[in-house]
A and B are shown apart, each in its own frame.
Chain A
């Protein structure tokens, strides 16, 4: 390895790869990325599109295979079994060990399992890794092999899995613990619109319903599930467990690296052990930054942590200091974007303005301060907004009236699309008037 310092990164997801790229930009260090999942970096968010036939695995790689050599980033398809933080070595399953000067843990998440009977049967799976995708392809190739699938957990991965199975005409029963889809995160109006949209796709969606047990047939394959509330038994061939994810850090349990749910890090993304860092889904802040959760399992935050930690490793020690919150998703045919904070229920002193289009495929919710009218955040469904504009308005601390009057400037829909800003503003004005008149 010569005299150059060696940065070892465990995990080749967006967090680890972003860190590697930025270390390369800022230094001449040796860089090795270790992953047992795949040799090359692929976009995890695109896994669904492989099953749906929109893309092949090759298309999901954000960089050509020659990129890594050109940028002197070593790729190692291996599994890390242990870390010796005293000797600064990682142990690999093959028996080899790798010395590091800086170590970044970026191992992402694993699907949650809540101890359901039958949760380890061969046709029960989450949807996170390339291996999960391959497994689904095998267990649910078509609706002759998989006559019905049950999805447990109404979140972002659950809805993606539903979209995947729908693309092959596989009937779905979708168990959602909440009263409406993702209503722990989305305000009622937004959540109900998405719930109705899922119904429109002929998904057998069961609200306020929990899984009790997964049953196997004589040969040990999934044959049905029963519901906790009614005891109803539903025949199925595949069960998707999509009730959230948690940090994928079991391999650290014998090390001295401090963990809680995830790897505990300070604002510089440093663990309790010098020269060991953690970023992405598997990192846990001692306290959430601002309104953020201590563990942020989101593509964008993984990337930002990668950008930040690379600075520290290259000698410009910095805090991970993310800007305004934003996120996006797609629920079947409806795109979702959010900027700033819109909580499921308004917090003290806040209120929500909700507008919904008559076609029931577009809506927005704006959160603002009741007394100061400060704009706090916006959710949009079926309408695209310009990130830059929303970010600037949040920085400029605009009030809700300004935002609604200027909403057209933030529109990012394709040319010739119908605009709804006037309708939205009118709706806001009449709702506000009703409140003042009441």
Chain B
């Protein structure tokens, strides 16, 4: 057969594979904006003037906005996926790989060579790209920029600009618009502005993005962080209590009511970037059962690692004597073991039937963790656990999980692995929420009786690599721990088969060998035989 049209270099144009003049103009504006940043990066004699930065960011945003308007504004509302698999950028073509390389390099420089970006060391003034952001940082928090401030600003601009594009693309879909508005709000307010303002109010407070919970925020219980909170008076104490309450109380309640989507698709910054700037890559996620297997091992391993690491870190800075501080090493380890045992017992008692073979894996995970904690307790000192420094454990986690997995691979590989590789394979927060979602949430994606035509749009556009169709064509609801509830499967379904719902727990997980619409007696007979 003949091949499909030449891979196009277009980014989003829904009905032609070449760019319109408006889109070319938009692309040029955005490129000029990026070029200014590159010039700053190369120390090309740009003055660190807030107007230069405003011009650069303004051109980038204007470029994206104009591009999106040219692509979607005049179009009749509907699904805009024409040519996705013919475009180089969105089908792992040359542009896709190039983008991947550029993004990955950026993350490597950001995490490991911030000096290349112009970070001033030992009190020296910033230069290059970071210096360009100094005036904005001064304006917001009264201090010079760091590489994280540069990253945070670009991140926020990306979510806002591409969020606008996403909202135009789904202008007929209220759910998509609202949740995109929500991630834009949380990124701009909670992740970007509020922490800067908080620093202005109280410079002892560590950077704290209120919506970023442990274990995603893996450094919140670090000694320096806890000390900084506790030394900042009531507000600091309040914040750390909020941090603990949000993991153990607020998040389970919200996940029970709405599924993990309340976080992953409405609040989270990683999710926010994935859904906006990463939207063009959602179809690249791997849907094979092999990938699903890998996902389950990997994400739960990260979770175990993060629980161990956090426990070890806290453990080492706690004391032995309860007269100094009520929480001692001994009490802490007992609390952790007690909590894990409680969770494990409740699951095994109430859910073992539903879990089947997975219960065994859960049990293995639990006992590994338990033994590790006990070994740690009996071999641990103030410095070391498992005969290695707890701080090394923490550093390893920060390096391999916090930086390489979530940043370099998670975001750098958007154009290769899809936009949610981190959320799917690595995020320990997603593992916790997913566990809650699978065990006791009202959330599910309902399948509409016998209406599925097995076309595969739902599976193709599932960024989490869930084979949605496998459920829909059996008339079975989708209850999967990895589902972030983005709602795109329901949006792209041409037959109205899928609906995200919060309903009764009873009958949430169903399956039918004979689908609705056929002989009712046969349905009853077959479904009874099961």
Residues in A lying within 8 Å of B, measured CB to CB: 14, 22, 25, 43, 45-46, 49, 52-56, 59-62, 64, 134, 137-138, 141-142, 166-169, 200-201, 299-300, 303-304, 307-308, 311, 318-324, 326, 328-330, 332-333, 335, 337, 384-388, 391, 395, 412-418
Contact = CB atoms under 8 A, between A and B. Distances in A.
Given A300-B517, A388-B449, A62 B473 contact: yes
A46 B470 CA distance: 15
Given A167-B15, A304-B515, A387-B449, 8 more contacts: A46-B457, A54-B82, A304-B519, A322-B519, A328-B453, A412-B499, A414-B487, A414-B491
The 10 A-B residue pairs with the shortest CB-CB distance in the complex, in nearest-first order: A387-B449, A333-B78, A384-B496, A46-B455, A53-B83, A134-B1, A416-B174, A321-B519, A138-B2, A62-B454
A113 B491 CA distance: 36
15 contacts: A46-B455, A53-B85, A55-B460, A64-B289, A141-B4, A167-B82, A168-B17, A318-B519, A321-B518, A328-B451, A333-B78, A337-B496, A385-B496, A388-B448, A395-B520
Contacts of B249: none
A53 B81 contact: yes
Nearest to A318: B522
A418 B178 CA distance: 13
A101 B454 CA distance: 30
A4 B514 CA distance: 26
B189 interface: no
B513 interface: yes
B456 A55 contact: yes
Interface string B1-12: 110110000000
Contacts of A62: 454, 456, 469-470, 473
A55 B457 contact: yes
Given A25-B513, A307-B518, A417-B174, A335 B1 contact: no
Contact of A56 (B76, B85, B174, B513): B85
A134 B4 CA distance: 9
B97 interface: no
A188 B195 CA distance: 60
B490 interface: yes
Contacts of B451: 300, 326, 328, 337, 387
Interface string B78-112: 11011111110000000000000000000000000
B4 A307 contact: no
B492 to A, nearest CB: 8
A278 B497 CA distance: 29
B456 A60 contact: yes
Given A14-B454, A330-B494, A414-B173, A54 B517 contact: no
B234 interface: no
B287 to A, nearest CB: 8
Nearest to B519: A321
A49 B86 CA distance: 12
Contacts of A385: 496
Interface in B475-523: 487, 490-492, 494-496, 499-501, 513-522
Nearest to A330: B494
Contacts of A320: 519
A418 B5 CA distance: 39
B338 interface: no
Q: With a 10 A CB-CB cut-off, give which of A62, A166, A329 has the most chain B CB atoms.
A: A62
B459 interface: yes
B362 interface: no
A129 to B, nearest CB: 12
Contact of B77 (A55, A141, A333): A333
Contacts of B491: 414
A328 B496 contact: yes
Contacts of B83: 52-53, 167
B167 to A, nearest CB: 13
Contact of A387 (B455, B514, B516): B516
Contacts of B49: none
Nearest to A47: B455
A131 B92 CA distance: 26
A169 B490 contact: no
Contacts of A386: 448-449
Q: With a 10 A CB-CB cut-off, give which of A54, A138, A167, A323 has the most chain B CB atoms.
A: A54
B16 interface: yes
B490 A324 contact: no
B324 interface: no
A392 to B, nearest CB: 10
A328 B516 CA distance: 14
B5 to A, nearest CB: 6
Given A43-B455, A134-B2, A300 B496 contact: no
A281 B120 CA distance: 73
Contact of B517 (A167, A322, A416, A418): A322
B448 A387 contact: yes
A328 B495 contact: yes
Contact of A201 (B76, B85, B288): B76
B450 interface: yes
A412 B493 CA distance: 13
Contacts of A319: 519
B317 interface: no
Contact of B178 (A45, A412, A416): A416
Contacts of B178: 416
B442 to A, nearest CB: 13
B469 to A, nearest CB: 6
Interface in B173-232: 173-175, 178
Contacts of B82: 52-54, 167
Contact of B459 (A59, A142, A300, A417): A59
A1 B79 CA distance: 49
A435 to B, nearest CB: 31
Contacts of A46: 453-457
Contacts of B174: 414-418
Contacts of A169: 15-16
Nearest to A321: B519
Contact of B516 (A311, A321, A335, A388): A388
A266 to B, nearest CB: 15
Contacts of B460: 54-55, 59
A299 B518 CA distance: 13
B453 A299 contact: yes
Contacts of A418: 174
B454 A43 contact: yes
B517 A335 contact: no
Contacts of B79: 54, 333
Contacts of A300: 450-451, 517
Contacts of A326: 449-451, 517
A414 B522 contact: no
Contacts of A168: 5, 15-17
B181 to A, nearest CB: 11
A412 B448 contact: yes
Nearest to B472: A62
Nearest to A41: B454
A54 B175 contact: no
A60 B455 contact: yes
Given A167-B83, A300-B450, A386-B448, A335 B519 contact: no
Contacts of A60: 455-456
Contacts of B84: 53-54
Nearest to B492: A54
Contacts of A330: 494-495
Nearest to A130: B1
Nearest to B502: A415
A61 to B, nearest CB: 8
A386 B503 CA distance: 15
A61 B470 CA distance: 10
A318 B1 CA distance: 43
Interface in B430-449: 446, 448-449
Contacts of A391: 449, 516-517
A53 B4 CA distance: 9
Interface in B11-49: 15-17
